[in-house]
């Protein structure tokens, strides 16, 4: 009796697990394989790529692509430092400001909330365009060749403010009111009550901001000139590839025979260099991320 029941349970659970794990395993493989391909290609000699294309296992092992990327280790490390500092500072400051804005905008006793919300939302529909933006940063704020030119534009994004607003909405307004009764100021309420209650949201938004800063290259390209010694990592890597491309295609390349620049494997190596740390960092914040995404659906 007991046995058969267990067998039954066993059989159905085994089936469910088989199908479930099989499917998830396949899906994980689909995500993993491209990455393995990139990693192996970055370690393959250019000749092998030319002759037989990319493969999941290096046909001819070579670290030459990495040697070129790390030709000047000081510059790579400097670029890493710049990107990390900008990411850490930008995420901390940006998160704080976004959270404050989002909270303030959904407070029902805030008179102009709809007008200001619209003002923020409006910028997602209409923008001044590139030239006014460039003029603002360079001519009015004088931020050319200044890391702030990269840091400031990324601090606030309308999308994230709207997202934060929706998150905070799930916290009943009564909490704020009762805290007020007990004599707490607005800042106390925000710091001591609201922030702890919105950690999943903060993690999600923080991750968005951090990824934005980590991948940021366009503003760096516009505002940080080559006169600066250290520039964000993505721009540095982008330049490694474009200049290799250029050397390869220019007739003036003396002594560097074009094939000495392993363009294909170098592209892969730069991809690895750029994503490596993010991959290492991700498992630690993953749980918040999942929580953050589901928080809107289930009110816990």
Q: For binding to other proteins (CB under 8 A), which residues are involved?
A: 46-47, 50-51, 71-72, 75, 89, 93, 96, 130-131, 134-135, 138-139, 143-148, 151, 185, 187-188, 191, 218, 221-222, 225-228, 235, 238-239, 242-243, 245-246, 248-259, 263-264
**Cβ distance to other proteins smaller for residue 55 or 72:** 72
What is the rounded CA–CA span in Å between residue 53 and residue 57? 11
**Cβ distance to other proteins smaller for residue 253 or 291:** 253
**Cβ distance to other proteins smaller for residue 10 or 60:** 60
Query: What minimum distance in Å lies between the beta carbon of 252 and other proteins?
Result: 7
**Cβ distance to other proteins smaller for residue 10 or 67:** 67
What is the rounded CA–CA span in Å between residue 126 and residue 158? 12
Inter-helix orientation angle 73-106/233-249, to 10°: 130
Query: What minimum distance in Å lies between the beta carbon of 116 and other proteins?
Result: 22
Phi, psi of 44 (to 5 degrees): -100, 145
**Cβ distance to other proteins smaller for residue 235 or 268:** 235
Q: Which residues pair with 47 in a beta bridge?
A: none
State both tokens at 19: 């199908």
Query: What minimum distance in Å lies between the beta carbon of 283 and other proteins?
Result: 28
Query: What minimum distance in Å lies between the beta carbon of 133 and other proteins?
Result: 9
What is the rounded CA–CA span in Å between residue 184 and residue 190? 10
Query: What minimum distance in Å lies between the beta carbon of 281 and other proteins?
Result: 22
**Cβ distance to other proteins smaller for residue 44 or 163:** 44
What is the rounded CA–CA span in Å between residue 206 and residue 155? 11
DSSP state of 260: G
What is the rounded CA–CA span in Å between residue 56 and residue 40? 6
Beta-carbon contacts of residue 124 (< 8 Å; ≥ 6 apart): 158, 159
Query: What minimum distance in Å lies between the beta carbon of 6 and other proteins?
Result: 55
């Amino acid at each position: 009796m007991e046995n058969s029941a267990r067998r039954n349970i066993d059989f159905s659970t085994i089936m469910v697990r088989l199908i479930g794990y099989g499917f998830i395993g396949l899906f994980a493989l689909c995500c993993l394989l491209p990455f393995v391909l990139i990693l192996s290609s970055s370690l393959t000699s250019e000749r092998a790529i030319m002759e037989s294309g990319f493969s999941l296992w290096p046909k001819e092992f070579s670290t030459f692509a990495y040697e070129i990327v790390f030709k000047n280790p000081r510059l790579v490390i400097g670029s890493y430092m710049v990107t990390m500092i900008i990411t850490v500072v930008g995420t901390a400051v940006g998160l704080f400001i976004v959270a404050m804005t989002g909270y303030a905008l959904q407070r029902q006793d805030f008179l102009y909330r709809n007008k200001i919300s619209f003002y923020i939302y409006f910028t997602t529909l209409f923008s001044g365009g590139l030239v006014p933006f460039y003029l603002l940063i360079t001519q009015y704020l004088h931020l050319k060749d200044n890391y702030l030119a990269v840091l400031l534009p990324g601090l606030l994004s309308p999308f994230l403010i709207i997202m934060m607003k929706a998150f905070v909405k799930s916290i009943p307004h009564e909490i704020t009111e009762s805290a007020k009764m007990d004599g707490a100021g607005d800042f106390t309420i925000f710091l001591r009550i609201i922030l702890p209650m919105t950690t999943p949201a903060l993690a999600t938004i923080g991750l968005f901001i951090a990824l934005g800063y980590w991948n940021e290259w366009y503003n760096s390209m516009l505002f940080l000139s080559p006169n600066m010694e250290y520039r964000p990592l993505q721009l540095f890597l982008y330049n490694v590839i474009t200049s290799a491309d250029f050397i390869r295609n220019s007739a003036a390349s003396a002594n560097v025979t074009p094939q000495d620049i392993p363009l294909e494997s170098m592209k892969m190596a730069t991809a690895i260099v750029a994503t490596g740390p993010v991959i290492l960092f991700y498992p630690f914040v993953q749980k918040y991320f999942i929580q953050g995404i589901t928080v809107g659906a289930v009110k816990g």
